[in-house]
Structure formats: structure tokens, C-alpha cells
A and B are shown apart, each in its own frame.
Chain A
């Protein structure tokens, strides 16, 4: 019976039915649901959150070399981290099938860049499948293991937001265990030890494999030709097919399930069968460049279809119909409406810390996590965000460039999960190279932004079993950091004093936020430390100075109404604290100069 599934769940279902034994991942939108789904629904599969994508791929490939079908999942930028392993795994090949899921994020709904992961396949010389909905996620995941074993190569399954995060019907089946025996064979060292002499042997095998894969692509059952009206033929793949087919159902299609390598004979046949060819693909002209290089003339491609942001049905229609496209009537200009951007939660420990940094006038080398939201007004207290772990390395570099001028002005911030992902090496580097940067670990006891995934510092595995946990203080000591201190982010005054002191020291410092769990992490009881359940405004005292609005708490709002305080100070309005949202963190109380914020009762 058909079931409705999210693309990510359908991938997992397909992999499970294919007999997957080991799955590893680091969370990243829109791929994060994959590993959780494995852990929650498929006890036969070993699942783990790795500290980063490189380790996840190492784990999956080790399992594959031991004969098990295995998978690693990550978002597009995660592949940058894992690339070092992938590029050489292409040489060694595998034994049990290895699927690498890479989830792209066109239009950067939640990422730091918009790279097109299809390029990895050409770069690494490995096959890439691109599903367009949940049924295809399921089908392609399942078959990826067969391809992987048949051609002795890792296979990339590439999704994107509208595939990973959309739900549609899937016809699931049963699990079939892999027939490949488990075991390691030391005699296979020439295949797995990539020293130059072995590499040169494997290098040839890769080229032979690519030729065989090209032949296979021509017979691949998910490369499908639909000949309808022969006057226009569209070559497309994945969700781009879904959009184009929706808008132009009458045209002919060559829908590619395998985007690398391309099916050359099929493409030749398609060009014979249709009069004019259009290539519709999201992001880079990946298919287009290849088809042009084969010597074909296309009617349209990236001359009309944008090479950035995501495609949508109306973008495809608008681009291909040109002047014939009729724009819907604009009734209200959306740009005139207030936006609803995400914000740090009421009570979040990042808010007072960034307020302190702002008051100190620090230049904040940031990182990737909820705390990146501190860039938004009115906080505006985060000044870079490049890649996981970058803040620490960049702060050190900036301090080296600025010399004594930089003392007291620069700080790096990153989350606990980010610190474990790739923040330790930059800190070690700052110690080794006699730097003087200050690093603050915003420890909220969880991977926050992606929706609460466990990591090596939380004390729990992906299956919620208690486990060993990292002690950040001990890591700092082991790296040789001389100045390590705990920080209570909820105490703004103390934060300012400590951070100022540490930023001014001529040695690297490590500051660890303590007792500051994520507000949504119930098991850590984040509200227990707050003295009062909520606060309210004493309208006798509120002068309407708006200082408390600067912390950007979602519970606090401005109410315009001219009047005066009890002692006669004129005001244009007062603030209001929403009792349903306030959790009693007292950050606004510390900011208010007129003692106008007082304890309330739930």
C-alpha cells in the first residue's frame, strides 16, 4: 500500500530495503531528518551522528569496505568537509554498496552558499542520481547500492530542498539483506592503500569504470524518454522535470535519473526524435555544458533559465513563455508588509551574550548555528559567518594582522556542536602559533539550529542511549589554552567584564558558556534556574525609552500611547511583555534603567 513520505524518509526506506547496515551523518538542512529517521524506525541499521561530515563518510566507507551496505548523509556544504575522503574513495572503490546523500539548498533557505553538488560527481568521477519526488528518492536510493557494487564505486544521491522536504506517495516493499559477506581481507591492501604506485593502477580503473557507467546510463531504467509533441523536447532531471512537466505537459521529455555520467546514446536518439531541445536545470548549466561539449545545438537553456536561486513552476513558465507569460495581478505588495524572520527564542542564552558583545563594541567572528541570527537588527552583534569552525581561525588571523591594535576588540563565537565539528583545530592553532584570540563556546547542550540533534557533548546517542561526553574545559587544557573560564551568559555585566578582560590578554582564551541550555531542550530543564516564571512592565515607571527593545526578545513589544509615568516623566508609549512568551530570563530586567520590569505570576 502506498504511504505518504517525506523525500528524506523515502531515501531511508529505500536504503533499508536495500539492506543497509550502517548509517552516519552530521545534521544540515535539508538533510537532517535522514539519520533521525534511520534511528527511530529501523533498528536493524546501526546509526550515528558523527562530529562532522568527513567522519560520517569515513565511518560509512569503513563499513562498506568491511562488506556492509552503508550510507552517509549531509547537506551540500557538508560535502566540502567530506570531499577529501570522497575524492580518494572514488579510487579505492568499496565492497558493500556505499551511498552518499548530498542535499542541496537552492535559494539558500538555510545555508551559507548555493553550490551545485552535481559538480562533485564529475570532479570525483563517480555516478550521481537525482530523484524528483519521494517515490524516486525511494527507488533511486535502493538502486544506488546495486550500482555501487556493480561498478565498485561510491554513488551520490543528490536531493534539494523541494525533494528532501516535500511529501508524496511511495509504494514501499520489503527488506532484502545484502549477499556480500562481511569481513576484511589484508590482501586487498593494493586496492585500499592509496600510495602513488597503487593510485596509478586505480587511476586507469576509474576511467574504465566511467566508460562502463556511460554504457550503463543508456540502459538505466530511470533515464526515461517521453515522446509527446515532437516539436519541443526538454532534457531535465529531478524536481526541474516536475516543474516543467507541470507547466508544459504537451512537450516531449528526456528525464534523467542519472545525471552523471550522461546517457550519450539516449541523448543522440532524443535529438533525432525532437525538433528543438530545451535544457531545464536548477543552478549550474551542468547538463547543458556537457551536451554542448558533445557537439549538439540546443534551442534554449541557461540563456533563459536562471543559473541561481531555485526554480519554481512560474519561473520555468515565465522564462520559457517570455512575453506570452501573464503575471498574476498584484493586489498587495508583499514588500510593504513586515517580514517575519526567525529570531532567537525568548529566554535564549545567546541573546544576553550578544548584547554584552554589542555593548563592548567587539568585532565578532561568527559561525554557523542559531547564534548566526544575532546578525539581525537590532542586535547586529555578529560580523562574519563563512563555514563551520571558521570563526576561531579567522579571529586568530585577524589578530595576527592587527597586532596590538586588535587587543580588546576581537572575539570568536561558535556553538558546542560547531566547536566539536571543526572548532578544535583552529583553537589548537592559536595556541601553537602564539596567538591571542578569544574563543567563546556558546554551549547550549545540543545542535540547535537544525532541530536538536545529539553530539559528542550532549551525553546521548542518536537513539537516546546515555553515552560518554566531551568536557570542553579538558579539551581546552589539553590544547594548552592557558586562560580558560566559564561564563554565565545570563549575567550581562559579568559577561562584559570577563570578555573584556580576556580579549585584552596577550594569550589565547577560551570562554565556555555554562548552564545555558537551549530553551527548547526540555530534558535540560532550561527554565529551572530562573527565579521568576515571568516579568511584566510596571507602567507607573516605564518611560518608553525602548532600551529593552534592543535585545530583540520576541516577548517584548512596543505600544504607542502618549502619557506619563507616575512621577511625571512624559513618554510616547510603553513596552509590553507577553506573559505567554516570557520565561523569566531577566535579561530585560538587567537592561532597564528605571526598574520598570518587575516579577509577575503565571
Chain B
């Protein structure tokens, strides 16, 4: 009982409506099927009203806490620049970061009271060097015909970190969670995302 085994900590952050929750559900399907214990905790109580959304996602042999310990994030998957930089301190020094190049202004910025943070990419690269990847989720998804699929583009990019999980398993999870009419688009989004890293 000395060791719980390695638990992998993935922190997802974004703005209500960006599909961060669907992305975390895809991760759930994938890692459960791969035989892991999974826990995830979401804060999305007021997401419909433009608030921020975060998900703590943990998988391993046995997971106790639903929350990741501050400073213990292995992977930060962020759907928006401000919601990425907000959690920079949570990432381990050797942690990996994937950020969607999207800017959504919060009220204080809209009102001209505060500035939207500049140089998010630069700040991350300063601390995490080559472990930072920027993905144009919306741009890629738009080319495929629907900007809504940006979240699955990000999932595709993110899948590169888990070579032991086959593409077919990711696609199976995507299909399990989305309506059939969205399958084609999102499978393409996954593949394009995978190439984007």
C-alpha cells in the first residue's frame, strides 16, 4: 500500500460552449476502455452563462481524489488562451501543454477595464520550452465545414501523447458520444487534429 501506482493528471479548461466537457467525456471513454480507473470532476455550474469551465481528469491503476493536486498537472489541454494562462501554475515543470488559439473576452475586457493577456504562448514557452503546442482548432474545424468541431480537433492533437491508444479507440469513443450525423465531420476533425501537432 505504499504506492497508488502512477496516476496521470489531465486538466482541461475553456469557456462554456466550447465543448470542453465533450472532450473530457471522450477521454473518459478511451481510458476506461484501456482498462484504467478514471475520475473526473467538472465545474460547470454556470457555464451556460459564459463562465469558465474546468475539468480535472485523472486515470491510473487506482484513483482516489477526483481533484488534481495544485502543481501536479501532467497535461494541460486548454480551449482558450486566457483559460490556459489562468492555470499555468498548476502544470508540473515537465508537464505538456496544448492550447487552442482562441480568444474569448471576459466582461472586464469587454468593458475596457482590463486588458486581455498578451503573449500567452511566449509565457508558456518561457517555462515549458518545447512542451507547448498551439493548435488552431477553429481554423482547422472551419476548413472541414464546422467550427464547432474544434474541440475534437484538440482531442486529435492531444491523442499524440498516448501512442499506446490506437486511433480506432479514439474514434470509437467519438462515435459513442456523438450523434451519427456528426460522425464523419468529427472523425475528420480527429485526424486533422492528430496531424496538427
Q: Smallest CB-CB separation from B48: which chain A residue?
A: A520
Instruction: Report B97 CB to chain A, min CB distance, Å.
Output: 12
* Interface pick from B79-87, B150-158, B164-172, B187-195: B79-87
Is the CB–CB distance between B70 and A314 below 8 Å? Answer: yes
Q: Is A595 an interface residue (CB 8 A)?
A: no
Pairwise interchain contact A556-B110, C-beta atoms closer than 8 A = yes
Q: Is the CB of B65 within 8 A of A243?
A: yes
Alpha-carbon separation in the docked complex, A74 to B40 (Å): 23
Chain B 13-52 against A: per-residue CB contact (8 Å), 1 yes, 0 no? 0010000000000001100100001111111011011111
**A residues 321-348 in Cβ contact with B at 8 Å:** 327-332, 334, 337-345
Q: Is the CB of B51 within 8 A of A378?
A: no
17 other contacts beyond A168-B38, A341-B51, with CB at 8 A cut-off?
A4-B28, A162-B66, A162-B67, A167-B40, A239-B65, A246-B64, A246-B69, A249-B2, A328-B71, A332-B85, A332-B123, A337-B117, A339-B106, A340-B15, A340-B52, A343-B49, A556-B110
Q: How far is the CA of A477 from the CA of B82 in the complex (A)?
A: 51
18 A-B residue pairs with Cβ-Cβ distance under 8 Å, sorted by A, are A4-B28, A4-B29, A133-B39, A162-B67, A167-B41, A168-B39, A228-B1, A245-B65, A249-B4, A250-B1, A317-B69, A328-B89, A331-B88, A334-B89, A342-B50, A557-B111, A557-B112, A560-B112
**Once the chains bind, are A109 and B45 in contact (CB under 8 Å)?**
yes
Nearest to B42 among chain A residues (CB) is A165
B85 touches A110 (CB 8 A): no
Against B, the Cβ 8 Å flags (1 = close, 0 = not) of A115-144 are 000000000000000000100000000000
**Is B161 interfacial (CB 8 A cutoff)?**
no
A486 to nearest B CB, angstroms?
A: 26
Bound complex: CA A343 to CA B93 (Å): 35
Known contacts A165-B41, A246-B69, A332-B88, A338 near B109 by CB under 8 Å: yes
Closest Cβ–Cβ distance, residue A546 to chain B (whole Å) = 7
Q: Tally the A-B contacts, defined by beta carbons under 8 Å.
A: 161
User: Which chain B residues lie closer than 8 Å to A327 at the CB level?
Assistant: 71
Contact of B4 among A246, A312, A341 (CB under 8 A): A246
Q: Given the known A-B contacts A331-B88, A331-B89, A552-B107, are A451 and B4 also in contact in the complex, defined by CB atoms under 8 Å?
A: no
Q: Which residues of A contact B52 (CB under 8 A)?
A: 340
Q: Which residue of A lies closest to B15 (CB)?
A: A340
Which residue from chain A places its CB closest to the CB of B1 in the assembled complex? A228
Tell me if B3 counts as interface (CB < 8 A to partner A): yes
Interface string of A166-210 (1 = CB under 8 A from B): 111100000000000000000000000000000000000000000
- Whether B106 pairs with A573 at a CB distance below 8 angstroms is no
Interface pair B63/A168, CB less than 8 Å apart: yes
For residue B75, give the distance in angstroms from its CB to the closest CB of chain A: 16
Do the beta carbons of B82 and A340 come within 8 Å of each other? yes
Q: How far is the CA of A373 from the CA of B48 in the complex (A)?
A: 13
User: Which A residue sits closest to B52, measured CB to CB?
Assistant: A340
Query: In angstroms, how far is the closest chain A Cβ from the Cβ of B173?
Result: 11
**Do B49 and A345 have beta carbons less than 8 Å apart?**
yes
Distance A4 CA – B41 CA, assembled complex (angstroms):
12
Assess whether A30 is interfacial by the CB under 8 Å rule: yes
B86 lies within 8 A of A313 (CB): no
B residues contacting A by CB (< 8 A) are 1-4, 15, 28-29, 32, 37-43, 45-46, 48-52, 63-72, 82-83, 85-86, 88-90, 93, 105-117, 123, 127
- 4 tightest A-B CB contacts, nearest first: A328-B71, A558-B112, A342-B46, A557-B110
Give bound CA distance, A337 to B109, whole Å.
10
Q: Is the CB of B49 within 8 A of A573?
A: no
| Residues in chain A near residue B110, CB distance under 8 A | 549, 554, 556-558
Q: How large is the interface on A (under 10, 10 to 19, 20 to 34, 35 or more residues)?
A: 35 or more
C-alpha gap A497/B63 in the complex (Å): 60
**Most chain A beta-carbon contacts within 10 A, residue among B64, B117, B127:** B64
What are the residues of chain A within 8 A of B40 when measuring CB–CB? 166-168
Q: Is A545 an interface residue (CB 8 A)?
A: no
Residue on A nearest B40 in the bound complex, by CB: A167
Please tell me if the beta carbons of B65 and A169 are within 8 angstroms of each other in the complex: no
Q: Complex Cα distance A239/B82, Å?
A: 30
What separation, in Å, do the CA atoms of A185 and B29 have in the docked complex? 50
| CB pair A554 B127 closer than 8 Å | no
A494 contacts the other chain (CB 8 A): no
Q: Does A226 interact with chain B (Cβ within 8 Å)? A: yes
Q: Judge whether B66 and A166 touch: CB under 8 Å.
A: yes
Across-interface contacts of B64 in A (CB, < 8 A):
241-243, 245-246
In the complex, which residues of chain B have a beta carbon less than 8 angstroms from the beta carbon of A475? Answer: none
A522 proximal to B (CB < 8 A): no
A2 contacts chain B at the CB level, 8 A cutoff = yes
Q: Determine the distance from Cα of A245 to Cα of B115 in the docked complex, in whole angstroms.
A: 41
Beta-carbon contact of A246 and B50 below 8 Å:
no
Contact A557 B86 (CB under 8 A): no
Nearest Cβ in chain A — how far from B195, in angstroms?
28
| CB neighbours of A549 from chain B (8 A) | 110-112
A247 interface residue (CB < 8 Å to B): yes
| Contact residues in A for B69 (Cβ distance below 8 Å) | 246-247, 312-314, 317
